[in-house]
Structure 1
Amino acid sequence: MSTPKVNVQIVSSDILSDDVLMLGESVMKQLKIPAHQPISLKFGAFRHSVTLVPVPRFEGMRMSQTLSHRMGIHSGTPLRLQYRTSGRTLALGPLIGVLVSRSFPHIPDKPFGDITLFCRELTTACRAQGAYVYFFTPGGIGSSSNSVEGWVHNATGWHRMSLPAPDVVNNRLTTRKLENSAVVQSFMKDIRNRYGSHVFNEKFLDKSEVFEALKKDSAVQKYLPESYSLRSYAMFKSMCTRYSAVFLKPVRGSLGKGIIRLTRVGSESWQASYATVNGTRRQSFNDPAKLFSSISGKMKTVRYLIQQGLTLIEAGGRPVDFRALTQKNASGAWQITSIVGRTAGSHHFVSNLARGGTLSTVKEAVAKSNLPGTHRAVASSRLQRAALDIAKGIDEKIPAHFGELGIDLAIDTSGRVWLLEVNSKPSKNDNTPLKEGKIRPSVRMMIQYARHLSGF
């Protein structure tokens, strides 16, 4: 990306008027920006007519205090510049808005609760790349889509202010109710149509939606356990007849909540294992009809996916699976940012960290598992190939914009890779832990993709 980066200096409005910008002469020549002529200044949805004055032997940009306040920019902000000759427009940015579920204004040092550290990490990474990021909630969206109430972080801490609608929105809402609210949907539609903004990870994925869509992709079919939306006892009985184990998964569940594992014991009996916060609860049934009857009440409010059970690798009797984080890069292409092994906690059959699961490298997880030695050397490359195939399949088969996907994979005892789940709102704690002051590759990649989308 060849867009130059400059530091913005704020000057008193008594010295510099609001319709004048001062910019380093060398940068103006590089971008072929005309001097002393009216052009349009763009910062996200913000537009303003300005005249540029070249300054010899100066690498930055100077703007008036009043103008910077209208734009939500503070002194020392590094921004990239892009001059579009056809529209005589000087664009500053990229301006990135991260849409989060809630804020806590009464807690000045942690306005976003547990994700505040991630927000600060993203802010630091944006400064390094010359991008500008702010964080906003559905409550910060007003009656006009051209601006929102958001939060920015600088040397003096967190500040709440009015900011232009962004070039790029990273949707990190954690509930479907918020995501589907009229105010959020209207805002997303308006900024796309009016300002050409981009919204990625714009929707949650349902498990049934994912598996139905990927069944149509020949490159991905080999990773898919047999799966159906559970609609009738006939389907339930058919799956229980064909497989010695099946899983029931809430279509909209996460963190392992509500998963039921059904295992045949002998010729007719079945054991149901329920994933709970405190471990696995088990219940035995004499026949499938009684088992189905026990869960039919839940099916009135929760839709389930019924899925073929797999003989997955284990470590010390604990199931092992893998979380791949796939992201679009600076060229807009999918790539693997990380893959980690996840081993289920004691008394659990799901590996989520929230249920006591532990992280390790793929190599460590495989080495401790019962995967036969002949398959160990190729396990990592098979997982990578599967994650990329699945990410591309989601992109092609589901009509929505995704920039990053958490893809849960498993390996069976014959070395075959299977898809468990795809998460369109992957937690930033599920790949590598946050550390104060450290910028993770996943955060850098998100900014690079935002730059790609916005042309910076």
Structure 2
Amino acid sequence: MLKSKVAVQAVGSGLLPDDAIMLGESYMKQWKIPQGQPVTLRLGGYKQPIKVVSVARYEGMRMNQSLARRIGLANGATLRLHYAEKSSTLSLGPLIGVLVSRDYPHMPDRPFGSITMFCKELVDGCAAQGAHVYFFTPNGIQESTDTVEGWVYQNGWKQMSLPIADIVNNRLTSRKLENKPNVQLFMKEVKRKHNTQVFNEKFLDKHEVFDALRGAQSLTKYLPESHLLRNFTMLKAMCSKYYTVFLKPVRGSLGKGIIKITRLESGGYQAMFTTTAGTRKQHYASLLKLFSAISGKMKTVRYQIQQGLTLIDIAKRPVDFRALVQKNASGVWSVTSIVARTAGGAHFVSNLARGGTLSTVREAIGKSNLAAGRQEAAARLQKAALEIAEGIDTHIPAHFGELGIDLAVDTSGRVWLLEVNSKPSKNDNTPLTEQKIRPSVLRMIQYSRYLSGF
């Protein structure tokens, strides 16, 4: 196995010119790197002709401080190297760029607000794996698409100009930002100019997901009946067929704007609306009156109408499950974690942002009113999460490396898909063990290494 992990030492220009690097003799021999002949040094989109000097009994790499600064490396950074004899290219990497929604330069200790801890965890994970990561926002994108203004961690967060990364993980949390012309152009250009791989490149909407998965026969068993709500006829048909239906904003998240409609035995309908304070209930004498009340919202919000399910609950609080499914070091989907989420007392949705609580799958199933199949429930959830992730990959033309898949179990033990999120929160799906670097972070780095060939 070729030795590829190397520690980089930045030295003064008096010791080493800008166009030369020193490398341990064992790396030179293993990778057959020619000594003293011009080769191309590459880190992400940065390329420079250099000469490589072999150093006996030395296990690292030395480069001029100004070169290290240009490519955003701190003294002591650990990376992987790869030499391609055909093109005489010595590549360092992988260089991972994480595109985040916003930064706060006036808060040097928390430049990314609530996700700063996740970003630092990614820095530590990369150091352990032999990779380098930086973070940038849409404002850091440059016109040339050869560099970005981003943040690196070097004994504290620092802003600097950085090369385009081998891998870009799109963690933008707003469609508005993602659809900005400079962001769309950037993603297109870095793929074309630098062969950058961009994953989680777009948001998914509920209608798109259900529509795409309906094409896969093996997945229809997980899909509640679901349609784009276009008119009163559709509402009437679904409400005659099912005792309860849900209206979900096609582009909603965190349980915002969901309406639960229940047919009452006494006649008429009850609508329950999610609000920040809890649930607001409203009675309507007829379905037509209910439709009139919501048709104003339909002018600005597109709704998916979905069959209501009799989900398992704990003391009348509905339970659902968030599976984090990621591609691993071999580029294959695997389940990183599944957690149970129980709705808060005043809510019918389980999101943590609305007072829901986390527990393990086993604990939630054990306390729930599931009638049969308790032993197999966890395995069925795992199987469903993997099959749905593979279905998204097959039927939606975009590159995804991780997905948050919301699943539910009904009282007969059947697993259902609620929704798929292509930007899973780094707070919401935290496994319940306190670890320095979570498996979800390591897997993202391993997949980046797989994609970039490091």
CA 1:364–1:53: 2 relative to 1, 3 Å = same
- TM-score of the aligned structures, taking structure 2 as reference length: 0.98
Tell whether the 8 Å contact from 2:339 to 2:431 is kept in structure 1 after alignment. no
Q: Which residue of 2 aligns with 1:43?
A: 43
Q: Report Cα offsets for 1:370-419 as digits up to 9, x if no partner.
A: 001x3100000000000000000000000000000000000000100000
Letter in 2 for 1:178: L
1:140 aligns with 2:140: yes
Partner of 1:55: 55
CA change 1:225–1:2 in 2 (3 A) is farther
Task: Give the 3 Å change call, closer, same or farther, for CA 436–363 of structure 1 in structure 2.
Answer: closer
Does residue 114 of the first structure (1) align with residue 114 of the second (2)? Answer: yes
Quickly say closer, same or farther: Cα 1:68–1:312, change in 2 above 3 A: same
Aligned residue in 2 for 1:224: 223
SS of residue paired to 2:7: strand
User: Hey, what does 2:76 align to over in structure 1?
Assistant: 76
Query: Who is 1:149 aligned against?
Result: 149
> 1:2–1:235: structure 2 CA closer, same or farther, 3 Å change rule?
farther
AA at the equivalent of 1:333:
V
C-alpha change, 1:437 and 1:341, in structure 2 (3 Å) is closer
Give the Cα–Cα distance (whole angstroms) in 1 for the partners of residues 433 and 147 of structure 2: 32
- 3-state DSSP class of the match of 2:30? helix
Within a 5 Å distance, the mapping from 1:122-201 to structure 2 comes to 122-154=122-154, 156-201=155-200
- State the partner residue of 1:88: 88
Q: In 1, distance between residues paired with 2:319 and 2:70?
A: 52
| Cα distance between partner residues in 2 of 1:439 and 1:389 | 27
Structure 2 CA distance for partners of 1:2 and 1:170, relative to 1, 3 Å? farther
What CA deviation, in whole Å up to 9, does each residue of 1:190-227 have, x standing for no partner? Answer: 11001100000000000000000000011211000000
> Which amino acid in the other structure matches residue 69 of structure 1?
R
Give, in whole Å, the separation in 2 of the partners of 1:324 and 1:254. 16
Instruction: Say if 2:337 and 2:431, in contact at 8 Å, map to a contact too.
Output: no
2:113 and 2:2 map into 1 onto residues whose CA distance is 37
Give 3-state SS (helix, strand or coil) of 1:219's partner: helix
Q: Is the 8 A contact 2:359 2:432 kept in 1?
A: no
- Identity across the alignment (%): 65
- Letter of the structure 2 residue corresponding to residue 29 of structure 1: K
Q: CA deviation at 1:65?
A: 1.2
Q: Is the 8 A contact 1:3 1:82 kept in 2?
A: no
How many angstroms does 1:431 deviate by? 2.1
Cα distance between partner residues in 2 of 1:376 and 1:412: 12
In structure 2, C-alpha distance between the alignment counterparts of 1:2 and 1:364, rounded to whole Å: 45
Amino acid at match of 2:392: I
Please list every run of 5 or more consecutive structure 2 residues that lacks an aligned counterpart in the other structure: none
Give the structure 2 partner of residue 353 of structure 1. 352
Question: Map of 1:253-268 to 2, 5 A cutoff?
Answer: 253-266=252-265, 268=267
The alpha carbon displacement at 1:19 in A equals 1.1
What is the rounded CA distance, in whole Å, between the counterparts of 2:22 and 2:435 in structure 1?
33
Question: In 2 relative to 1, CA 404–270 (structure 1 residues): closer, same or farther, beyond 3 Å?
Answer: same
Structure 1 gaps, min length 5: none
Q: Please state how far the C-alpha of 1:437 moved relative to its aligned partner.
A: 7.2
> Which residue matches 1:395?
393
**RMSD of aligned Cα (Å):** 1.2
Decide whether aligned partners of structure 1 residues 361 and 435 sit closer, same or farther in structure 2, where only a CA change above 3 A counts.
closer
Cα deviation 1:249-269 (Å, max 9, x = unaligned): 000000000000001111631
The TM-score with structure 1 as length reference comes to 0.98
**Counterpart for residue 10 of structure 1:** 10
Quick one: which amino acid aligns to residue 108 of structure 1?
P
Q: 1:434 to 1:32 in 2, by over 3 A?
A: farther
How far apart are residue 435 of structure 1 and its match? Answer: 8.9
1:282-329 CA-partner distances (Å, limit 9, x unpaired)? 001111111111100000000000000000000011000000000000
User: Displaced runs of 4+ in structure 1, greater than 3 A?
Assistant: 433-437
Aligned length: 454
Quickly say closer, same or farther: Cα 1:402–1:3, change in 2 above 3 A. Answer: farther
Q: 2 CA distance for matches of 1:280 and 1:320? A: 17
Given that 2:279 and 2:348 are in contact with CA atoms closer than 8 Å, whether structure 1 keeps it comes out as yes
Report deviation, 1:50.
0.8
CA distance in 2, matches of 1:221, 1:318: 27
Check whether the contact 1:324–1:407 (CA below 8 A) recurs between aligned residues.
Answer: yes
